[in-house]
Amino acid sequence: MPGNGVAVTGAAPPPGHMACVNPATSETYATVLLSTPADVPPARAALAIAQAAWADTPVEDRAAVISAFLDGFVERGEAVAAAISAATGKPAYGAMDELLITAAGGRHIVAGAPEWLADDTSRSCALVAGRTSVVRRVPHGVVSILSPYNFPLWLALGNVLAALLAGNAVMLKVSEAVPGIGLLIEELLAELAEGRLAPLVKVFHGAGDVGAALVDAAVGKPDHVLFIGSVGVGRKVAIAAAAGGVGCTLELGGKDAAIVCADANVSAAAEALSYGMAYNAGQCWYVDCFLSRVGRGVAPLWIPSTLDRRAFWSVWIACPDVRPLCLLLSDCCSGTPLGAFSFSSSRPKYRRRAGVRGGQCV
């Protein structure tokens, strides 16, 4: 367990700490020391010092360090996947999916970085005839990354590695719904690639006040902000970044459109879309009008025969936007054995619906 984490079993967190709870079992398996806005400025100052030396490191050397990190990351893959499962309640195959996506994305940017970050002398115009025009890509500096809960390791660590490869240092806040992922990232940074990346990343644990400090130009003084999350919070991040003259990159929530044409195989489409809707607790959320029309007619297709039913249908309901998935599954799968519905903030009516349809609330 890294320095900010304390291993526990079922105990209430001490003051100033947050519990790491496995949503699938309701077990508290660790606690984490909460960050405060006051922690941000000194951490930012230390990162700026480390970043200056890192930015002067040739990109090929930075890529070699990150490649070594990825080697260790893959070698301890089963342990990493188990940590993802504990933090999110995902079944093992979903956790391993996330690990593989993170590793593959990391390998991709390591391979491409020398070309992508090289000076570009191909651009010119009449105003600079006879001279060389150079486009040079330089790091932002110290960037803030605020990552979500739905693919918490991939969307946090994947973006951290990209920022580091470009020569930046990172202030990272993972979602307070998955504090165990923050602990995992701290542990990986400290132990892999001889710990060379650890001084370049500070992981913050906390809620919205800490995130606001990381975006605030007067407190966190970020040189760039990356936020992945809801549209509502994304608007606030954009306003705060603009007020400080800070660039920001936003990836905000929404639904993926699924187009089913008139000549499509409806059964095959329903099976594919039902898998996508339920995968990762509904966070690959397809437009639901199609399934609302045909779902009840294809109930057996909701449980692919090639998958373990209880593992596949272990659904973590942690945020309001995925609760309708529970209702849709319950309605469409009446009479079909489901896995556990695990509620981190449950309401009685959702428990009643799941109970009536055969789902187990834990």
pLDDT digits (tens, 9 = 90+) for 6-24: 555 556 778 899 999 998 8
Do the Cβ atoms of 42 and 67 come closer than 8 Å? no
State the Cα–Cα distance between residues 338 and 356, nearest whole angstrom.
12
Do the Cβ atoms of 69 and 243 come closer than 8 Å? no
DSSP 8-state assignment for residue 83: H
Helix (H, G, I), strand (E, B) or coil at 246: coil
Query: Does residue 172 register a pLDDT over 80?
Result: yes
Do the Cβ atoms of 281 and 329 come closer than 8 Å? no
Mean pLDDT of the chain: 79
**Identity of the highest mean pLDDT range in 24-28, 245-249, 298-302:** 245-249
Mean of pLDDT values over 231-252: 94
Q: pLDDT grade, residue 362 (50/70/90)?
A: very low
Q: Which two tokens stand for residue 223?
A: 């040189």
> So what's the pLDDT on residue 161?
98
> So what's the pLDDT on residue 123?
73
Query: Does residue 235 register a pLDDT over 60?
Result: yes
Task: Tell me the C-alpha to C-alpha distance, in Å, between residue 352 and each of 324, 330, 347.
Answer: 14, 10, 9
> So what's the pLDDT on residue 234?
95
State the Cα–Cα distance between residues 224 and 303, nearest whole angstrom.
44
Helix (H, G, I), strand (E, B) or coil at 11: coil
Non-local (6+) Cβ contacts of 50 within 8 A are 169, 199, 200
Q: Where do the domains of the chain lie, and which CATH numbers do they carry?
A: 5-114+135-252 (3.40.605.10), 266-361 (no CATH)
Query: Does residue 4 register a pLDDT over 70?
Result: no
Q: pLDDT grade, residue 107 (50/70/90)?
A: very high
Q: pLDDT grade, residue 171 (50/70/90)?
A: very high
Helix H, strand E, coil C: the string for 268-281 is: HHHHHHHHHHHHHH
pLDDT digits (tens, 9 = 90+) for 41-66: 999 999 999 999 999 999 999 999 99
Query: Does residue 110 register a pLDDT over 60?
Result: yes
Mean of pLDDT values over 121-125: 75
Report the range of poorest mean pLDDT among 28-37, 72-81, 178-187, 255-264. 255-264
